[in-house]
Amino acid sequence: MMGIFSGFLKLMLLYGMFLWLAQGKVHYHEFVLKEANFTRLCETKSMLVVNDSFPGPVIRVTKGDTVYVNVQNQGNNGLTIHGSWYKGDVNKEVNEDLETGNVTPQSNAYTINGQPGDLCPCSNESTYRWQVEHGKTYLLRLVSAVMNVEIYFAIAQHNLTVVGMSGSYVKPILTDVVMISPGQTMDVLVTANQPLGRYYMAARQYDSIRQGVKNYDKENVTAILEYKGDYTPSVSPSFPNNLPTYADFSPAIEFMKRIRSLANKDHPINVPQNITTRMNISGIYTADFPDNPPSFFNFTEDDSPDDTTLSVQGTKVRMLNYNEEVEIVFQGTNLLDVSMDHPMHLHGNSFYVIGSGYGVFDIETDPKDYNFDDPPKLNTVTLPKNGCVAIRFKASNPGVWLWHCHYERHLSWSMSSVFIVKNGETPETSIREPPPYLPPCKDSFTSRLLQYENSDGNRLNKID
């Protein structure tokens, strides 16, 4: 097993929680978060990391195990770990851009297991190497911890067979390239069946906006797949020439179309059929979080009306009863003429993707094409540019669950909301009481609101 773009802390902890009630081994981990120096792209900077490592430690578990993670944050910031590398102080840059309304900063490189690879400056001594034996088949675990963009990934001269996504089986997809969104995970089989040698595993940005965007991160991140054995390697590993370029739509679209649940006897699907809550959500939200957009218009047209473009910060959430069956339609828009993909991510529950397509969702005709045979079960789905996606899930996990676009910049611009799933009627279907030793939060939301109020109050005016 190998994590690539690894170290996505949030995701690993979440898996631990899903497995809480099942039987199996018990694992204890101690995470200490503190500042440490790292050098990439010829410059050294201090970062908040877990157990002095970047990316963080890997948690290895088997289905049914229970994982305890004690996290001690000795730094001054909250933390998620990402696979994009910024030379500067990313916290500072993002905060400045949010204040001024600028687009958040572009990364200077992407990393594979923490390394930008041979094609980036000052990086070739530390390029990540993966040694394989000829004839064996390996399971590659792809985790996209990239902050703001989708990524194409390929290995020179090697096919990829995608067999899982978001921890659920899919019908095997034989391909030479995958497109992975922030927050997505994939299980990929790779057979080492090529002549002994060294081959680049490479990834680069896929840009679904395309028009008018100039400053994106054009670096190619690489690692090396290296055959064990006696041979003289070529001077330079071969590069995957099939890796699409930034503006190449079709490989992404073709790949997304092929994602289907395995849906067999051992791994059946169970799509909710008694929908009591239907939500049709476009990229705009109001303070009192609605089941529908504030107005309906041709969401994907070229010149959309200006008065529909304002988003508002709010604190309203959507309550769900325990085991309520929910359908959500996400609608992409062309507002401000910047349509693009949005990787929509739900915490706490996986969902079935029962439909997706381009243009404006039609509530009369589109449900007739819903896929109830083999819809993929995911926790992050790519809402295609100027398109729509329909999902269903059963709210069987009580708690407070964020759902949001997984582009960090869109999340920070409030493309998000919260579901609160109520407790069921038994202790087993309810949230556990917090343990008595759980310390109270030092920096509560209320105190942060007060900080805003004391700074300039601008932001607070928008909060109801």
Contacts with Cu ion by CB under 5 A lie at 342, 405, 407, 410
How many H helices and E strands in the chain?
5, 25
CB of 405 to Cu ion, least distance (A): 3
Amino acid letter, residue 403 = W
CB of 381 to Cu ion, least distance (A): 12
Distance CA 221, CA 226 (A): 16
Cβ neighbours of 90 (radius 10 Å) = 19
- Name which of 204 and 410 has its Cβ closer to Cu ion: 410
Are 374 and 263 spatial neighbours (Cβ–Cβ below 8 Å)?
Answer: yes
- Name which of 149 and 178 has its Cβ closer to Cu ion: 149
- Name which of 318 and 342 has its Cβ closer to Cu ion: 342
Distance CA 237, CA 199 (A): 5
Distance CA 10, CA 57 (A): 13
Region class of 368: left (phi > 0), else alpha (psi between -120 and 50), else beta: alpha
Q: What is 200-231 written as a DSSP string?
A: EEEEEEE-SS-TT------PPEEEEEEE-SS-
CB of 336 to Cu ion, least distance (A): 13
CB of 135 to Cu ion, least distance (A): 43
Q: What is 242-258 written as a DSSP string?
A: TPPPTT-HHHHHHHHHT
SS3 391: strand
CB of 334 to Cu ion, least distance (A): 13
Residue 436 dihedral angles phi and psi, to the nearest 5°: -60, -25
CB of 309 to Cu ion, least distance (A): 15
CB of 7 to Cu ion, least distance (A): 22
SS3 328: strand
- Name which of 263 and 415 has its Cβ closer to Cu ion: 415
- Name which of 287 and 338 has its Cβ closer to Cu ion: 338
SS3 122: coil
CB of 383 to Cu ion, least distance (A): 8
Are 349 and 297 spatial neighbours (Cβ–Cβ below 8 Å)?
Answer: no
- Name which of 204 and 342 has its Cβ closer to Cu ion: 342
Closest CA to 370 of 393, 390, 387: 390
- Name which of 401 and 407 has its Cβ closer to Cu ion: 407
- Name which of 49 and 146 has its Cβ closer to Cu ion: 146
Beta bridge partners of 405: 344
- Name which of 54 and 361 has its Cβ closer to Cu ion: 361
CB of 97 to Cu ion, least distance (A): 16
Beta bridge partners of 27: 67
SS3 6: coil
Are 81 and 90 spatial neighbours (Cβ–Cβ below 8 Å)?
Answer: no
